[in-house]
Structure formats: C-alpha cells, structure tokens
Structure 1
Amino acid sequence: MSRVYVISDHHFGHQKIIDFESRPFGTAEEMDEFMIERWNSVVTKQDKVFHLGDFSFYNKDKTKTIVERLNGHKFLIMGNHDRGRSKAWWLDAGFDEVSEYPLVYQSFFILSHEPLYMNKHMPYVNIHGHIHSQKYEGLHYFNASVEHWDYKPISFEEIKSSLVPNEEQ
C-alpha cells in the first residue's frame, strides 16, 4: 500500500543554512547525504511525497542527481528559493509534478510553502514550511520543515493523528 508524505525546506547544497538553523552538520555534502538517507528510510518507490519548497541550491544536474536518488513520486510546491527557476526547470530536474501555487489536498489541507493566513473560523489546516524551526500555535497550522521531523518526510496519517488527538479519524 502506498502512502503520502510531506516535507519542506531541505535546502540541499546550502552551506549557510547549517548556521542559520543550527543544523548538526559540518558541510552541505554531509547534510545532503544524511537527508537523502532519512528520506529513503521512510519513503518507498510507490509512495508520493509533497515537497513544500526550498529544495535545492545546486545547478540542474546536481539537483537531478539528488531527486533521482530519492524514493517516491515527487511533487514540488515551489518555495521562495525555488521560484527563480521555472516550473519546466524543476520538471527537467526530475520532479514528477510541480506547482507554483498552494494546493488543496483532500478538500481540507492547504499545502503551501509559506504559512497562509488562517483565521480561527476556517475549517482548513495549512501544511507549510518556510519558517524552519519556528512554529505557529493552534490546529490550523502544521510546519513540515525538516528541522521538526528529524529530516524525514512525515506521513499524512501522522499529521492527521497529531491534529485530532484522541478522536476517531
């Protein structure tokens, strides 16, 4: 049975993110290898992964090499660091699908790179990245940045159970 996962803000090849976010790596290459291993430790070839942006700082060839090493059907929702490159660039780099805009998934989850404004009366949950180790309070936001999930994609089952504790799904 295939599963669906979400993850954000890998920043492959971005040496400075190690200091910006206090990531426990000496080099970008060490970080890259660790994050590839973590991804493949949970995602199978049959699974789908929504990547919520800020994927890679490398050129297309190096980015493609990384994308090819990652298991699953990969869907990129472009982040602020991805938007300098075209949708076609990301497809050529190996993503199966690419969106420049947020998506609504299962009629309830809004998948975006940056957090979207959600007032307390909205029934939706915004699954996002962008703010890395920060976190918004409340059940309307779910931060999928790698810093929160030990650099592994998180399944929709885990997300749903974290949002509705002690209730039937």
Structure 2
Amino acid sequence: MANVFVISDHHFGHKHIIDFESRPFSNAEEMTETMIEKWNAVVNKDDKVFHLGDFSFLNKEKTASIVSRLNGYKSFIMGNHDRGRSRRWWLDAGFDEVSEHAIVYGGFFFLSHEPMYMNKHMPYVNIHGHIHGQKYEGNQYINVSVEQWDYTPVSFEHIKSIVVPSEEQ
C-alpha cells in the first residue's frame, strides 16, 4: 500500500532563506541537493506527497528539473510565493495535481499553506506550512514546513499518531 506524505516551504532556489531561517546549508545548490535526497529517502515512486506551498523560486525549466527528480505522485497546494504563477504553470512544471486553495483530506484534515483559523471546539486538524520555524500551540495545528521535519516529508501515519492518541485509533 502506498504511503501519503506532507511537506511545505522548500523555497528551492531562494538563497536568502538560508539566512532568514538559519538553514544548515552553505548555498542554494547544497540546499537543493540535500532536500531532494531527504525526500527520495522516504518517498517511494508509488507514494503520494502533498506539498503545501512555496516550492520554488526558480524558472519553469529548473523547477521542472527538480520536480522530475522527486519520487511519488505530487499534489501541490499553492503558497503565497507561488500564486504569482498560474495553476497551469505548476502543472507544466510537473506536479500531478495543483490547487489554489486549501483542501480537506480524509474528512478530518485541512491542508493549507497558511495556518487557518481553528477554534478549540472544532474537531479538525490544520496541516499547514508558511510559518517555517514557528509553531502554534495545541494538536489542532501541525506545521509541516521543512524546518520542522529535518527537510524530510512527514507521513500521515506519523501525523495521526501525534493527533490521535493510540488508544483512540
């Protein structure tokens, strides 16, 4: 059975993100190669990955080259840095699915780029990126920015284990 993963905010080609977020890379090329290796170390060809935005600052050709090197079926939710490009641009760059808006996964998880408003009485979980090294309190928010997960896609099984205690699963 294929696994499902989520991740966000790679910022491929954005050399200044290294300083902005204290990323442990000497340059953008090292960052790119390390993040591709970490993705492919956990994601198999038949797995699905939801990328929650801010994927690449590169042109279409260079972005497509990176996308083609990443394992799995890639579903993309556009982030704030991606919205200047059309949905078609991202499909042409190699993503299998592209959404301009948040989506609901499994009837319980809201997948979005920016964190969504969730009050404590709502029975849902918001899996998001955008805030990089920051975290919201509580189990209703899971930040999947690369900085939170050692630049590696995180499995939905792991997220479920955080959100739902094992005796309830």
Q: Which interval holds the TM-score relative to the shorter structure?
A: over 0.9
Question: Which residue identity is paired with 1:101?
Answer: H
Give yes or no for the alignment of 1:35 onto 2:26. no
Q: 1:19 is matched with which residue?
A: 19
Give yes or no for the alignment of 1:164 onto 2:164. yes
Deviation at 1:165, TM superposition (A): 3.0
Q: 1:60 is matched with which residue?
A: 60
Distance, in Å, in 2 between the alignment partners of 1:28 and 1:168 is 43
Deviations 1:10-63 (A, max 9, x none): 000000000000000010010000000000000000000000000000000000
Q: 1:120 is matched with which residue?
A: 120
TM-score where L is the length of structure 1:
0.99
| CA-atom RMSD in angstroms | 0.6
Structure 1, unmatched stretches of 5+, are: none
> How many residues are paired up?
169
Deviation at 1:167, TM superposition (A): 2.3
Deviation at 1:163, TM superposition (A): 1.1
Structure 2, unmatched stretches of 5+, are: none
Distance, in Å, in 2 between the alignment partners of 1:91 and 1:128 is 21
Distance, in Å, in 1 between the alignment partners of 2:73 and 2:166 is 31
Q: 1:8 is matched with which residue?
A: 8
Deviations 1:116-137 (A, max 9, x none): 0000110000000000010001
TM-score where L is the length of structure 2:
0.99
Question: Which residue identity is paired with 1:146?
Answer: V
Q: 1:137 is matched with which residue?
A: 137
| Identity fraction in percent | 75
Please state whether the residue corresponding to 2:16 is helix, strand or coil. helix
